[in-house]
Amino acid sequence: MSIKILQKLEKDLQKFPGVGERLARKLAIYLVTREKEENLKLIEDLKDIENNIFYCLECGAIVETNTICSYCLDDNREKKVLVLQNIEDYLLLSENNIFNGYYHVLGGLISPLKGITPDKLSIEKLIERIGKKKINEVIFALPGTNDGFITMIYIKNLLKEKFNFLNFSKIAEGIPSGTMLSEISIQTIFNSLKNRENFE
Ligand SMILES: [Zn+2]
């Protein structure tokens, strides 16, 4: 006999990255059988996300109340911008405080195969910020994949046309794709940022 509420929950859970039918069932059973209080806490967390999480209008990072994050408001940071693929990478780097410049979250990578074109990413905003903040170096910390490479080349060429004083660099191996960034040690990321390569 199938239980409709459970089926609905499983369907919703399958929308999570990496969750297939079996894991969805396991998670659903776990949710159904654990302490009710834990689920009520989860409901509160989800409501909180909906009501109190915003994206910085400048860099695209997550912010809690303001519309612009504290990094973007700080004019004393180094005049460098670190270009990242997503919020996950941003959180890891910013939570560990290993960079003193500005961040910029693209919101994805250019991907001909997936039909992701440059206009779907936060590239116009990056151009605007480079001019406004008088940035002198653009550092790419993108995955070392085809899409990561295409994205770097596209953005670099576009920026070169507009700003002739900009330096470009990239972290040596790129951010490993398909690996949770948190699995890489912070020291590794710190080193690859410090020993970044010129990218002209
Ligand atoms: Zn910001």
Q: How far apart are CA 85 and CA 107, in angstroms?
A: 6
pLDDT recorded at residue 15:
96
83: its two tokens: 């270009």
Ligand 1 center to 159 CA (angstroms): 20
CATH class given for the domain over 77-198: alpha beta
pLDDT recorded at residue 79:
96
At 136, the amino acid letter reads N
110: its two tokens: 């250019």
E strand or H helix that includes residue 80: strand 80-84
Ligand 1 center to 98 CA (angstroms): 16
pLDDT recorded at residue 179:
52
Contacts of 63 by beta carbon, 8 Å cutoff, 6+ apart: 53, 54, 55, 56, 69
Helix (H, G, I), strand (E, B) or coil at 112: coil
Ligand 1 center to 57 CA (angstroms): 7
Ligand 1 center to 20 CA (angstroms): 34
- Per-domain residue ranges for the chain? 4-49, 77-198
Ligand 1 center to 105 CA (angstroms): 9
Q: How far apart are CA 145 and CA 174, in angstroms?
A: 8
E strand or H helix that includes residue 92: helix 87-95
- The residues of the chain scoring below 50 in pLDDT are none
191: its two tokens: 């080193």
Please give all residues whose CB falls under 5 A of ion ligand 1, grouped by chain where several chains appear. Answer: 56, 58-59, 61, 69, 72
Q: What is the pLDDT of residues 23-72, one digit of tens each?
A: 999 999 999 999 999 999 999 999 999 998 999 999 999 998 778 999 99
19: its two tokens: 């969750």
CATH class given for the domain over 4-49: mainly alpha
pLDDT recorded at residue 93:
85
Q: What is the pTM of this model?
A: 0.82
pLDDT recorded at residue 157:
95
HEC letters along 146-177: HHHHHHHHHHHHHHHHHCCCCEEEECCCCECC
pLDDT recorded at residue 173:
65
* Phi, psi for residue 98 in degrees, rounded to 5: -100, 10
pLDDT recorded at residue 190:
77
DSSP state of 6: H
Ligand 1 center to 199 CA (angstroms): 25
Q: How far apart are CA 122 and CA 108, in angstroms?
A: 9
